[in-house]
Chains A and B, each alone.
Chain A
Amino acid sequence: MQTRDQRYARRAYEQMTALPEGDRARYGALALKLPVLIRTAGLAQAVAFVEARGKREGELLLEHLAQTLGFSGRSHLGATVREAPVMVYLSLTRRTLAALVWYKRFAQSLFKVSGTEETDG
């Protein structure tokens, strides 16, 4: 048996080390921003914001996150976020933030992203 943190860390590490070089900077920058966006705007708003931008790094990160959290894919995650009853929404927000800690950490350690790089907004 592994702790939830170990499972999240292992999945995030596998996904991120498999990312092509060209995707890493933007993906990493978003991985640093997304958890704070969830805390300030809420999970539904944050996920919808990333989906609405339609950028490759956003699609990749949501897909990875969905798999780590046990969803079949990002559309399944998106639908659950939109439709879940309040108590499920609370627990999903907590799990998402817990998983994103690892994406943020690996963006800093593997991709050397600091958060101050120029991005598309």
Chain B
Amino acid sequence: MNFSRLLLMHALSPLHAGTGQGVGVIDLPIAREKATGLPYVPGSSVKGVLREACMADDKGRHHVSQVFGPESEQASDHAGTLHISDQRLLLLPVRSFAGTFAWTTSPYGLARFARDLTAVGGALPGFIPSLPANSDQAWTTEATKLCAQEKTVILEDLDLVAQPQAAVNAWADWLGRALFPESADWQAWLRERLCVVGDDVFNFLAETATETTARIRLDDETKTVAEGALWYEEALPAESVLYGLAVAVPVKKAELEADFIFTLLARLLEKPLQFGGKASVGRGLCQVRVADGGATL
């Protein structure tokens, strides 16, 4: 029997899951899905961080190879029990004229999230907003703080027509509880800032509203920029929210109960962990939570 859970990853600092190099405008871009162009964090990257955390855990260190698979020299012995999917973008924080920033998502973003949520046996919080892809509307909750003037939401330099919708309230409440189970204040923040935009607008924001940072290297002697040592790095902004699946798959040689795996996983995720690159300049601190709604697959 396979068991699965939904993971929700909240970036507490900008998150750089990179591709090594880029031929576009940005020298060090973040990883993006080929077909949608939306940013993601590879499952392998998440698994590596969890494996490290497990090795540092008093109880977990005895089960590392059962849970995550043996070291590469013995990789052919057996597979790991815990499978981690890519973490896909759900909420992208975008600079807003009112309310500081908006947590944006889109009908497609919610639909694919709903698909994964259903797969782990979770109940959908509400219906998927029926906003057309090329709409210039922004669906908000009824408690929104994003309206700059009456009925206008200004994200970056885009003016969108605000539409408070009860369906968005249900998503905001569910996501608030899942992401911030201990904080009513943060749940309220999310309720006031969740905003569903058309898929085309969301993709545009996911392309252009990510964080772009100029980095330099100083010449030791002159303390000025070394020649040619200027590059641009991209990161998902702090407050981004991604999600993915964690699946416990029984392996004969590494038999562990799914309950044991998920209890261990929950313990490893108690504190924020560092994901992606550029750790030494503060990137990639994320709080990952295991959402309710686990079920057999």
Contact = CB atoms under 8 A, between A and B. Distances in A.
A7 interface: no
A101 B232 CA distance: 13
A40 B228 CA distance: 22
A116 B157 contact: no
Contacts of A38: 208
Given A97-B25, A116-B228, A116-B230, A42 B134 contact: no
Contacts of B228: 114-116
Contacts of A43: 157
B251 interface: no
B25 A36 contact: yes
Q: Determine chain A's interface SS by DSSP, over half rule.
A: helix
Nearest to B234: A39
Interface string A42-72: 1111000000000000000000000000000
A19 to B, nearest CB: 21
Interface in A94-111: 94, 97, 100-101, 104-105
A94 B204 CA distance: 8
A90 B157 contact: no
Contact of B157 (A36, A42, A85, A104): A42
B71 to A, nearest CB: 41
Contact of B160 (A86, A94, A104, A116): A86
Contacts of B208: 38-39, 93, 97
Q: How large is the interface on B (under 10, 10 to 19, 20 to 34, 35 or more residues)?
A: 20 to 34
A44 B157 contact: yes
B116 interface: no
Contact of A87 (B26, B136, B212, B227): B136
A28 interface: no
A101 B22 CA distance: 11
B201 A90 contact: yes
Contacts of A42: 156-157
Given A39-B208, A93-B208, A116 B200 contact: no
A48 B249 CA distance: 57
Interface in B190-230: 200-201, 204, 207-208, 212, 214, 216, 225-230
Contacts of B25: 35-36, 39, 97, 100-101, 104
B146 to A, nearest CB: 16
A43 B158 CA distance: 11
Interface in B123-181: 134, 136, 156-160
Given A90-B204, A116-B226, A39 B212 contact: yes
B156 to A, nearest CB: 6
Interface of B: 23-26, 134, 136, 156-160, 200-201, 204, 207-208, 212, 214, 216, 225-230, 232
Interface of A: 35-36, 38-40, 42-45, 85-87, 89-90, 93-94, 97, 100-101, 104-105, 114-116
5 contacts: A89-B158, A97-B24, A100-B25, A101-B25, A116-B228
